[in-house]
Structure 1
Amino acid sequence: MMAGASRDSLNAVLTASGPALAEGGVALSSELFSALDVLDEHGALRRSLTDPAWSTERRHGLVDSLFGGRLTPGALQVLKDLAGRRWSAERDLGDALETVAAHAAAAEAERGGHDGLAGLSRELLAFNRTAETSHEVQWALTDQQAPVEARRRLAERLLGADSSQSGRLLVARAVTAPRGRKPFRAVREFADVVAQRQRQWIADVTVARELDEGQRARLSSGLNRAFGRDLVLDVTVDPAVVGGIRVQVGDDVIDGSMSNRLNDLQRRMAA
């Protein structure tokens, strides 16, 4: 789990690269995973790209020299953005690159909105459930002596013929390059990335009393306009929300509750 500067750097890269991830999708994800293989194989490269004594320009130059002819401009820009950030530990750079690559794959599914992300989440979690039912399957997927291609083909069979491009890529990655983890742990972490993006499509609404159909429709329409996407409303009734409403979409909170205003007044009076 990242902390401090590394967590802040990852969040900054995800914000900055959002449009590129949405446009690049699975193709971009594959490129970023390939770049991650290079980082994982060359410790000197990781140390150079995370060395605080190196200037951003020097690190960008190193990325250009090594990857400039191998990556598309979009993938190269994401990699340079990562290389230009501060990292608390050398490994954090690779972990962050893996996370960004997973977000790109999830962005492909997100073109289908919340339902697309929900489908990808079901694929990943179902894969783990299927594998957990057979010790033989678990052994076959974790046997590092087995050919990589054989493990990848087995993973695809477990996913099923109707699986998505994003699901096949993420599961194949977890099985062929788990980076020191059990493949099922890697799949679970990829599923967590999908869940994180799903939360951006869910509006957690807390109200003091039940909404009728008209109120729910007006609220849904207003929130969709405000956030620029068709949100799924998850409504909870809490009498403590006096005379108002609280809405959370991802990290964004809209709180118009009377109780919150009273608490703010009390804090100001006590100051």
Structure 2
Amino acid sequence: MAGVSSESLTTALTELEARLPGASLQLATELFGILGTLDSSAGLRRALTDPSRSGEEKSALVRQLVGGKVSADAADIAAGLASLRWASARDIGDALETLGATVVIAVAENKSAVSASGISGLEELENDLFSFNRTVASSHEAQRALSEPQASAAAKTALAQKLVPGASEEAKVLIAQAVSNPRGLKPGRLVERFAQLAAKRQQRWIATVSVTRPLTATQMDRLQSALNALYRRELKINVTVDPALIGGIRVQVGDEVLDASVVARLGELNRQLA
């Protein structure tokens, strides 16, 4: 997805963010249900991506289609998506799939530690998705069954649940979606994509800190407190020693970089002198 569709997806994800703290698996299931309706009608996809229609018209069409059948949140999200511009009929479905998966991932993220080892809900979700793919990859019989075009979605979902009986509810929702509606992909490939989305979201809250020498316990405590206050949540901090920095510190959280190193300052000076 690129160009106008990529911009629209970014807009939709930004708008979705405000709903994620209280998101539920039911919301994700409703979004996936709307996706199924969208995938079943080429005419509907064309109507929702027709550049000659206004965003209001397309939004109203979605509300008319799903009104009373899903929650207000699901209807709002789908209608908002339809109001945006899309380069192709396929792109709006891909975007809705991403939004549904993001809701599931956020539900996992909102959970507290889930095991004696203290792994997070996101880590548990990733582990379950990878476990499913490893199990499927080790069984040609399972691969054939999950790719059998004559098998019902219910049968494939039931088989998938048996392959990972101890998986979290969030993982079960994503795995069920991947095997029941892979949308032209192999189920394992879609599960892998969901795992990548989970990993990307988890990376948002990992701070990679580069310093020229190891930090003391006191310095670590101060750094942890400062970054937690800056991002308004508990971050995981990974510290690496990089003598090439010469001095100072470099912090990366997701795509954001805070660079106070000597190398960065020298680079800026060189740019000013060039």
Q: Give TM-score scaled by structure 1 length.
A: 0.95
1:229 aligned counterpart, secondary structure: coil
Residue 126 (structure 2) pairs with residue 127 (structure 1): no
Contact 1:39 1:45 in 2 (8 A): yes
1:178 aligned counterpart, secondary structure: coil
Aligned CA-pair RMSD:
1.3
Which residue does the alignment assign to 1:84? 83
Which residue does the alignment assign to 1:234? 238
Contact 1:206 1:246 in 2 (8 A): yes
Residue 19 of structure 1 deviates from its aligned partner by 2.1
Which residue does the alignment assign to 1:215? 219
The one-letter code sitting in structure 2 at the alignment partner of 1:158 is L
Q: Give TM-score scaled by structure 2 length.
A: 0.94
Which residue does the alignment assign to 1:146? 151
CA distance in 2, matches of 1:220, 1:142: 47
Aligned length: 268
Residue 38 of structure 1 deviates from its aligned partner by 0.7
Residue 22 of structure 1 deviates from its aligned partner by 3.3
Which residue does the alignment assign to 1:26? 25
1:234 aligned counterpart, secondary structure: strand
2:240 aligned counterpart, secondary structure: strand
1:174 aligned counterpart, secondary structure: helix
Residue 58 (structure 2) pairs with residue 53 (structure 1): no
Task: Give structure 2 stretches of 5+ with no counterpart.
Answer: 113-118
Residue 209 (structure 2) pairs with residue 205 (structure 1): yes
Task: Give structure 1 stretches of 5+ with no counterpart.
Answer: none
CA distance in 1, matches of 2:246, 2:52: 54
Residue 116 of structure 1 deviates from its aligned partner by 1.0
Taking only the aligned residue pairs, the percentage that are identical comes to 46
Query: Any residues of structure 2 matched to 1:1-271 within 5 Å, and which?
Result: 2-112=1-111, 115-160=120-165, 162-270=166-274
Contact 1:25 1:106 in 2 (8 A): no
Residue 42 of structure 1 deviates from its aligned partner by 0.8
CA distance in 2, matches of 1:210, 1:5: 45
Post-superposition CA distance 1:43-77 (Å, at most 9, x none): 11111111111111111111111112212111111
CA distance in 2, matches of 1:148, 1:58: 33
The one-letter code sitting in structure 2 at the alignment partner of 1:53 is S
The one-letter code sitting in structure 1 at the alignment partner of 2:59 is H
CA distance in 1, matches of 2:202, 2:153: 31
The one-letter code sitting in structure 2 at the alignment partner of 1:241 is L
Post-superposition CA distance 1:59-117 (Å, at most 9, x none): 11111111122121111111122111121221000000000100000011001267110
1:66 aligned counterpart, secondary structure: helix
Post-superposition CA distance 1:118-150 (Å, at most 9, x none): 110000001000111110111111112123222
The one-letter code sitting in structure 1 at the alignment partner of 2:12 is V
2:244 aligned counterpart, secondary structure: coil
CA distance in 1, matches of 2:14, 2:21: 12
1:206 aligned counterpart, secondary structure: strand
Residue 253 of structure 1 deviates from its aligned partner by 1.5
Residue 4 of structure 1 deviates from its aligned partner by 1.3
Residue 243 of structure 1 deviates from its aligned partner by 1.7
1:180 aligned counterpart, secondary structure: coil
